[in-house]
Structures are given as C-alpha cells and as structure tokens.
Amino acid sequence: MIPASPTCIGLDIHQNAADLKVLPQLVGTAQWIPLSDAIAARPMLVLPGLWVADSPRQATELLRGRSAAGLHTVIVPRFRAGALTNILGSPSSVELAAAEFRSFEWGGEHYAIPGFTIIKTALHAGKWGEAPGVGTVLLAFRPHSVAGAIVLCAATLTSRILGVATATQKHLLLRIIEAASAPTNAIAASIEDVPVANPSTIEEFLDQEHELGAAYLLSRLASANPDSADLTEVAQQRLGILLPPEEAARLRYRAPAVQPEEIRLALVRFGWGAYVRRLRVESEFNTGGLSK
C-alpha cells in the first residue's frame, strides 16, 4: 500500500529547477540528494528529461543501476526530441517526438494534464497512458520482470502550468508510484494488449492498435501493391516511422476488410491527417483497400 503522501527524491542539482518546481507540493517529503547517493536510494526518483538528454553517460548509469536494484524512476518534462533507446537499454526503439496534447487516458481515468511530446516505440508492455489520436504519453520500461520501472511521463507532472490543478498532478504521481511498485503480475495491462477477437471496423482496429495500427494503414496507402510490398521498408522510407516486420504480419491478419477511402477518413479522425495529406501531395494512394 502506497502512503497518501509518499517520499520522493530528486538530485540536489535540480532542487531549484523549474521542471521540478511543484514536486514538493505533490508528496509528503521531497528529499534532494547527490547523484552518488541516488543509485541506491529507495524512494521514487524524479528526473527532468532535459538532464537525461544532456547527461547521457550519467543518466545511463543511474537509470540502469536503479532498475537493476529494483528501484523506480520517473522522468518528467521538459524533454528534448530524440532517442532514449541506448540510455534505457531497451530492445526496441524508444523515441520522444514533438506533439501537443491537452489530456490523456490511463486505465479508464481521464487526466486533464497537457504535454508537448509523445513517446514513439514498438514496445508493447508498459504502455500505460495515451492521448487519443496523438500517441503514447506514459510508458513504463522494465528490462525484466523483477527490475525497477523507468517511467517516461510526457504529461506536465511536476512543473507549474496554467489551468492544471496541483491535485490532479498529485493524483497522477501517486498512481504512477503505485503502478510501478505493484507486483509484476498485478501491473495494469498495456494499452496495446491485443484483444482476442479481431476488430470488425477500421475505427475499432485503430482504437485497439494505436500508433502501430496507424503505421500499418498508412504504409498500405503509401504502397502501390501493399499485399506484396515490404511494408516495413515503406513505413521507414516513405513515412519515417517504425513498423517491425512481425507487427506488419500480425496487423494484416487483424485488420478488417475496408476500402481506401474508409481508411483515409478513419486515419484523419484519429489524428493522422498530416500523414494522409503528405501522401496525397507526394503520390497517388493505392486503390486496393484491405481484403481477407
């Protein structure tokens, strides 16, 4: 059971950082400790994303050391766009990209906390929160089941922002601590856990498959012969997005049979209009749609 007012720690070099300004109001005690002590300190460590990007060697040692010891860390905005794959030691790419959202969903709860980056990754496990039509905003990475969680939170959690109640930020932080500290067999399911039944509509497909589903559909639209093309290559070269081969094969099986115009309209409704418009400018769409 997590106390209502837990202790969190931050590095002493960040005690006056604007990105952690609200942290003392969200927890019972905020302790500021030197970097040398942080690798073994038991409370949740809160780090600003800019420090992680600017100090990759120190961040790698700190994050991986804490995770290996079963200790949890949450990284909060501001972030710098770019890859965190090497710092985290993730088997799949984890990238931060610029994107604006006003709120997001996590496990049936709505959080009116905005942000200006999203998390792009092929990882499935640990995708906790999503801004509908925008992307993943809350990701918990563990290299193995008994490791500590490294939580990437793209929502503005520990800094002041106009129109966001401190109580809302506190509730989110407490829930992150609780979810990270839960036994691995009790952790909430990822937002990308695939349901048993195949979706019957393209909207249901996108609702279940999120960014990967959109990447698959866009890659089909970008290919003249999508049923024979290497959609992984199409996604990378034409769209600059990641679509692993095994996911392309899985999604082909799950996608319902629809016409291209239905795909385009659904993608626009789910926030992928910029990619659809880009394809319109560059070339003609395929006309084959999706079939079984």
CA distance 209 to 175: 24
CA distance 146 to 69: 9
pLDDT value for 287: 46
Q: Is 243 buried (19+), middle (13-18) or exposed (0-12) by CB count in 10 A?
A: buried
Amino acid occupying residue 258: V
Question: Would you state the structure tokens that stand for residue 155, as one six-digit string?
Answer: 């929502």
The domain ranges of the chain are 7-186, 202-282
CB contact at 8 A, 181 and 72: yes
Half-sphere exposure of 53 (CA within 13 A, CB side): 14
Q: Ranked by mean pLDDT, which of 248-252, 257-261, 283-287 comes out on top?
A: 257-261
Write down the CATH superfamily of domain 7-186: Class I glutamine amidotransferase (GATase) domain (3.40.50.880)
**Model confidence at 189: pLDDT above 70:** no
Q: What angle (nearest 5°) sits at the alpha carbon of residue 254, between those of residues 204 and 154?
A: 55
**Model confidence at 240: pLDDT above 50:** yes
CB contact at 8 A, 62 and 34: no
**Model confidence at 194: pLDDT above 60:** no
Question: What SS3 class is residue 136?
Answer: strand
Q: Which residues contact 239 (CB under 8 A, 6 or more apart)?
A: 215, 218, 219, 222, 275, 278
CB contact at 8 A, 90 and 142: no
pLDDT tens-place string over residues 32-88: 999 999 999 999 999 999 999 999 999 999 999 999 999 999 999 999 999 999 999
> In the structure, what pLDDT confidence band is assigned to residue 192 with cuts at 50, 70 and 90?
low
Question: What SS3 class is residue 82?
Answer: strand
Stretch 91-114: mean pLDDT: 92
70, β-bridge pairs: none
Percent of the chain whose pLDDT exceeds 70 = 90
CA distance 59 to 79: 14
Closest-CA residue to 279 (of 264, 292, 266): 264
**Model confidence at 284: pLDDT above 80:** no
pLDDT value for 60: 96
Stretch 90-114: mean pLDDT: 91
**Model confidence at 232: pLDDT above 70:** yes
Stretch 243-269: mean pLDDT: 87
Stretch 268-286: mean pLDDT: 73
> In the structure, what pLDDT confidence band is assigned to residue 292 with cuts at 50, 70 and 90?
very low
> In the structure, what pLDDT confidence band is assigned to residue 285 with cuts at 50, 70 and 90?
very low
Q: What angle (nearest 5°) sits at the alpha carbon of residue 271, between those of residues 208 and 175?
A: 60
CA distance 155 to 185: 26
> In the structure, what pLDDT confidence band is assigned to residue 123 with cuts at 50, 70 and 90?
confident
